[in-house]
Chains A and B, each alone.
Chain A
């Protein structure tokens, strides 16, 4: 059901009476409190703001920031840059290259090791908030497939909140993604995105 109540909370606002370890929440003896702007919906706390912290297994879109003696530093739309070792790849990269890659490992202070790099070229890069990525992808990738179908664009949505768009109606695909981000906390979003893509809006 789309009509269930959605409540917006701010940092410091109580969201649950019990202590829960959840993203965007902080628990102490008095209960669980929001730490970022978030939405409470169906007994879940959904952050509306936040930074990307790399996790092993994440597929991400990075930008080569620096070449080092044994690899590359990869910018990930995150406070932490990734390390890509030259052992991981035979391909040569230049500073400014956009790549898709996988986070292979992360140390205790979030610094990620990057693997499986693949150069992306000729498209556009769009940075959004990483907390919006699940909405852009949609249940079973339904949202991203809808956008691809209508725009004929190639889309790669990195878990780090960086989207790579190539070919097709790039401008329309970007408009759809920005609308998803703006309205991520609302219900009935799929219908409105389809309306936008079909030019009914």
Chain B
């Protein structure tokens, strides 16, 4: 994390983009956006745009990775070479994206009922098409919706946010500038049903008390994100329900 004491990111109690300390950026989630994937979701979170797609449960490739007791999850988080505001990126995975893919995989291993599908593989693909800080939590939040869209049994819809410290102040949902010039960053994914933390990384100095407070802030913000996930998934069914119920009344059923 680049630390720069000079960059003023809080002015008159507001952040550079006008947000308060506990405010999320605008978030929109759409489920079922791809034809070929078994399940999919597009999340637009501030300037972030992440597309998640699911395949499987299907035959394991390579075969030697087959687990006779449960499905294996192969998660892939990757950034498009044109996704950043900086220079042209390299295509394909790098050390950062491979680490994120790994911890994302562990999140899904917790909630997906892998024991129902022994000897299979579930692919969770997260493509970051535009990035502006907080892409890993956006990607996992989208992938969770995509898994539900695919019909893969899960104990919960997971979601989360990155909270961190800028100019000595804890703030929710760091954007790229805040991440670059802030003091510390703490992405977190939780299972809203159990309250368990499924992904937790800290990059930068924070006291124990700050971490406890940052967790509270993340939990609180995640409630809103979870509501958006639920709405994205229920919306299509509820629209059809509403249409047909109106039709029934009109038809005198």
Write the residues of chain A forming the contact surface with B, with a CB cutoff of 8 angstroms. Answer: 2-3, 6, 8, 10-13, 24, 26, 33, 35-37, 39, 47-51, 53, 79-81, 109-110, 129, 131, 182-183, 185-189, 191-192
B156 and A37 contact, CB distance less than 8 A: no
A-B contact list, 19 entries, CB within 8 Å: A2-B248, A8-B234, A8-B237, A8-B241, A10-B230, A12-B111, A12-B154, A12-B155, A12-B157, A37-B148, A49-B148, A51-B57, A51-B151, A53-B116, A131-B151, A183-B244, A186-B240, A186-B241, A187-B244
Complex: A110 Cα to B71 Cα, angstroms: 12
How far does the alpha carbon of A53 sit from the alpha carbon of B152 in the complex, in Å? 12
Assuming A2-B253, A79-B58, A188-B247, what are 12 further A-B pairs, CB within 8 angstroms?
Answer: A3-B248, A10-B148, A12-B192, A35-B153, A36-B153, A36-B154, A39-B237, A51-B117, A51-B151, A79-B59, A110-B117, A185-B237
Given contacts A12-B193, A79-B57, A187-B244, contact A26 B155 (CB under 8 A): yes
Interface bits B147-171 vs A (CB < 8 Å: 1, else 0):
0111111111100000000000000
Contact B154 A192 (CB under 8 A): no
Q: Which residues of B contact A (CB under 8 A)?
A: 56-59, 68, 111, 113, 116-120, 148-157, 191-193, 229-230, 233-234, 237-238, 240-241, 244-245, 247-248, 251, 253
CA of A10 to CA of B158 in the docked complex: distance in angstroms? Answer: 12
Closest 4 CB pairs of A and B: A49-B151, A12-B156, A79-B57, A35-B153
Q: Contacts A10-B234, A35-B154, A37-B151 given: A186-B68 contact, CB under 8 Å?
A: no
For B153, give its contact among A2, A8, A10, A11 (CB under 8 Å).
A11
> What's the minimum C-beta distance from A13 to chain B, rounded to whole angstroms?
8
Contact A10 B240 (CB under 8 A): no
Task: Give chain A residues whose Cβ lies under 8 Å from the Cβ of B193.
Answer: 12, 33
B234 and A11 form a contact (CB under 8 A): no
Query: For residue A37, which residues in chain B have a CB less than 8 angstroms away from its CB?
Result: 148-149, 151, 233-234, 237
Nearest chain A residue, comparing its CB with the CB of B191: A12
From A3, A33, A37, A110, name the one whose CB has the most chain B CB atoms within 10 angstroms. A37
The smallest C-beta distance from A21 to any residue of chain B, in angstroms, reads 13
